[in-house]
């Protein structure tokens, strides 16, 4: 059982939906990013999704691309991202942390070294968007052996023939991408998401969390209402980019979390 498994078991027992918040590690700088990260659980965040900045983030829209550029320009590295998690864990040993990003930095570090370092830092899950199921031997299966969940994305184009392959070695939860396209694009619609979530849940016992296109507390409530929870990324990252004080950013996160928890 990972922290992710424990969190969803607790939420299920309480009859509550999950709120997952994404931030980019090191955006706009290490200290401010860490301060925001430390404040997320108190703002109602159940799972933290921490972006690993990368030079070619093909699944990300402009908001998150720019966040990655700011982080890289400020000197953020994979090591500094792991350092952030280590610092966070000094005050919080319960909140699950999922690293989201691309395979290149992990491959460059070496899979075995990365998994050992990630485990030591306190990482609970990975979302690596450019490793398809056909490449599970690269990272997915070694991660599972190391006790780290490997979370797979399903999309509106994942048909019934493809879905079992996507789910085969997935653990922790399934991340359903609510729209076709990049992050931060169109707004998610509960009426179109609901049948897709039901289709996925008919083939797995894992929680299904919906992300992409969730920008307001009302949308968070609507989407969480047809799934096991929701993820908000670009809407939070854009507030960080605006330069608002950390307390104000966390108030916005709190509103989004309350929306999801009303579902």
pLDDT score, position 187: 73
Q: Cβ-count burial of 13 within 10 angstroms (0-12 exposed, 13-18 middle, 19+ buried)? A: exposed
pTM of structure: 0.96
Concerning whether 187 is annotated as a catalytic residue, the answer is no
What is the sign, positive or negative, of the torsion defined by CA atoms of 158, 159, 162, 167?
A: positive
pLDDT score, position 180: 65
Confidence of residue 9 (pLDDT cuts 50, 70, 90): very high
Q: pLDDT tens digit string along 146-164?
A: 999 999 999 999 999 999 9
- The two three-digit tokens of residue 18, written as one number: 């999950």
- Structural domain boundaries, residue 213: 3-262
pLDDT score, position 57: 85
Q: pLDDT tens digit string along 172-194?
A: 999 999 876 555 556 778 999 99
Q: pLDDT tens digit string along 29-73?
A: 999 999 999 999 999 999 999 999 999 887 788 999 999 999 999
pLDDT score, position 213: 87
Q: Between 183 and 7, whose confidence is greater?
A: 7
Of these residues, 5, 27, 46, 49, which one is catalytic? 49
pLDDT score, position 241: 97
Q: How much of the chain exceeds pLDDT 70, in percent?
A: 97
pLDDT score, position 59: 75
* Rounded to 5°, angle at Cα 22 from 34 and 9: 105
62/90 Cα distance (integer angstroms): 33
Number of neighbouring beta carbons within 10 Å of residue 73: 13
Cis ω before 253 (30° cut-off from 0): no
pLDDT for residue 104 is more than 70: yes
pLDDT score, position 182: 53
Q: Which residues pair with residue 50 across a beta bridge?
A: 23, 99
Q: pLDDT tens digit string along 132-150?
A: 999 999 999 999 999 999 9
Concerning whether 49 is annotated as a catalytic residue, the answer is yes
Q: What is the CATH number of the domain that holds 104?
A: 3.20.20.70
15: left (phi over 0), alpha (psi -120 to 50) or beta: left
Of these residues, 5, 27, 60, 196, which one is catalytic? 60
Q: Are strands 47-51 and 125-128 parallel, antiparallel or unpaired?
A: unpaired
pLDDT for residue 101 is more than 90: yes
Q: pLDDT tens digit string along 203-261?
A: 999 999 999 889 999 999 999 999 999 999 999 999 999 999 999 999 999 999 999 99
How many domains does one find in the chain?
1
Q: Between 25 and 58, whose confidence is greater?
A: 25
């Amino acid at each position: 059982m990972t922290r992710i498994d424990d969190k969803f078991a607790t939420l299920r027992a309480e009859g509550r939906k999950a709120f997952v918040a994404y931030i980019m590690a090191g955006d706009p700088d290490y200290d401010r990013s860490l301060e925001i990260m430390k404040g997320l659980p108190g703002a109602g965040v159940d799972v933290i999704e921490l972006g690993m900045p990368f030079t070619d983030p093909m699944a990300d829209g402009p908001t998150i691309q720019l966040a990655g550029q700011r982080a890289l320009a400020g000197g953020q590295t994979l090591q500094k991202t792991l350092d952030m998690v280590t610092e966070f864990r000094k005050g919080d040993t319960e909140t699950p942390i999922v690293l989201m990003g691309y395979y290149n930095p992990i491959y460059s570090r070496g899979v075995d070294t990365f998994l050992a370092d990630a485990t030591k830092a306190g990482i609970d899950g990975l979302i690596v968007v450019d490793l398809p199921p056909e490449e599970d031997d690269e990272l997915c299966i070694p991660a599972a052996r190391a006790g780290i969940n490997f979370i797979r994305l399903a999309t509106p184009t994942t048909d019934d023939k493809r879905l079992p392959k996507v789910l085969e070695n997935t653990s922790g939860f399934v991340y359903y991408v609510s729209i076709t396209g990049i992050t931060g694009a169109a707004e998610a619609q509960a009426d179109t998401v609901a049948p897709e979530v039901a289709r996925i849940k008919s083939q797995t016992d894992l929680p299904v969390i919906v992300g992409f296109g969730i920008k307001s507390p009302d949308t968070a409530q609507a989407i969480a209402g047809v799934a096991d929870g929701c993820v908000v990324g670009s809407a939070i990252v854009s507030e960080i980019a605006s330069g608002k004080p950390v307390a104000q950013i966390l108030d916005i996160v709190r509103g989004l979390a309350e929306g999801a928890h009303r579902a």
